[in-house]
A and B are shown apart, each in its own frame.
Chain A
Amino acid sequence: MMSDIQKTENKPNYFSTAIWLVLVALTIVSFCIGETGMQGQDVMLTLLAITMIKSQLVANYFMGLYKTKLLWRGIMFSYFVIVGGLIALAYLKGIP
């Protein structure tokens, strides 16, 4: 019984590892954009889109919300849509 438990536990968790690798890759993409010093509406929207993907990956697969009620996933998604949307609006306001 115990050896079965140990065997299951020792199996690599491929899915969470894949999510982690995607998060690392997206972080490096954001960093490269920052390093080039690019700016403007398209860059800002791209960075916000990357941030939205990353935040939803963390919420759904690291926090484990993908298996909960739609309500909880909806709250996390709406949070980013509202906060991210207002940030985008403010930045567009600031573009000369």
Chain B
Amino acid sequence: MTKTQNIGTRLNISTNTLNKEDLPGDFALWIFIFAEMLAFGVLFVAYAFARAKDVAIFNESQLTLSLSSGVINTLVLITSSYFVVRGVSAIKHGSSKHCAYFLTGAFLLGGVFVCVKMWEFNAKFSAGITMSTNNFYMFYLSLTFFHFMHVLMGMVILGYIIIKSLRSGYSVQDYVGVETGASFWHMVDFLWIILFPLIYIIR
């Protein structure tokens, strides 16, 4: 082995080690994930401090929310995230078909989340509740709607990956796209895990 080849091999080894410790999926999406988490984090903290100024109104309004639909949506998102984990595992083992099946399960559960949330929004709007009703509803509607839009975006991403998987567009050697979409979907789940107790339970 020549000196140049030796350096190349060493570089390769160090690059592989670095890749192994890197974030899963495309790094560009992680910048977006961190930015989104920051935006939600600011809103979560703003909600908590706004509540501290008007505890009675917040507690009273919180009681009008459907805790059952909140917990159903939490279980739905957790389970869909689990399916995404299984989908990523499947493609890492070379099964494009199983990957597509698991991601389809996650996609359908995303659809259940959307339906439950739309039912919840409809119930509130039918009762004449809007963002200007009070500060609690302003935060409740804006935070959950902002999150709802992320679920829709995640479903679009999952849909694209499912179609590509069914066409054998991913393989054991190339599954960065699946990991990227999976990371986005897990972020949606991660944020809801904080949002659910904050808006629906803690008082």
* Chain A interface extent, by class: 35 or more
A58 touches B52 (CB 8 A): no
Closest A-chain residue to B81, C-beta based? Answer: A62
A13 touches B44 (CB 8 A): no
Known: A6-B95, A90-B48, A91-B202. A50 touches B79 (CB 8 A): no
How many residue pairs at the A-B interface have CB separations less than 8 Å?
Answer: 136
Q: Beta-carbon contacts of A36-67 to B below 8 Å, as 1s and 0s?
A: 00010001100110110011001101111101
Number of B residues near A (Cβ < 8 Å) is 52
Q: Beta-carbon contacts of A85-96 to B below 8 Å, as 1s and 0s?
A: 011011101111
Known: A79-B41, A82-B41, A83-B194. A20 touches B82 (CB 8 A): yes
Classify the interface of chain B: helix, strand, loop or mixed: helix
Residue from B22, B49, B78 in contact with A90 in the complex, judged by beta carbons closer than 8 Å: B49
Q: Beta-carbon contacts of A1-20 to B below 8 Å, as 1s and 0s?
A: 01001101100010011011
Classify the interface of chain A: helix, strand, loop or mixed: helix
- Cα-based distance from A72 to B198 in the complex (angstroms): 25
Known: A24-B75, A90-B48, A94-B51. A58 touches B201 (CB 8 A): no
| A81 smallest CB distance to B (angstroms) | 11
A9 touches B95 (CB 8 A): yes
Residue from B59, B78, B172 in contact with A27 in the complex, judged by beta carbons closer than 8 Å: B78
Known: A27-B71, A79-B37. A55 touches B20 (CB 8 A): no
B85 touches A16 (CB 8 A): yes
- Cα-based distance from A91 to B62 in the complex (angstroms): 15
Closest A-chain residue to B85, C-beta based? Answer: A16
A58 touches B41 (CB 8 A): no
Stretch at the interface among B5-13, B130-138, B150-158, B185-193: B185-193
Known: A16-B85, A17-B82, A87-B44. A51 touches B193 (CB 8 A): yes
Residues in A whose Cβ lies below 8 Å from that of B90: 9
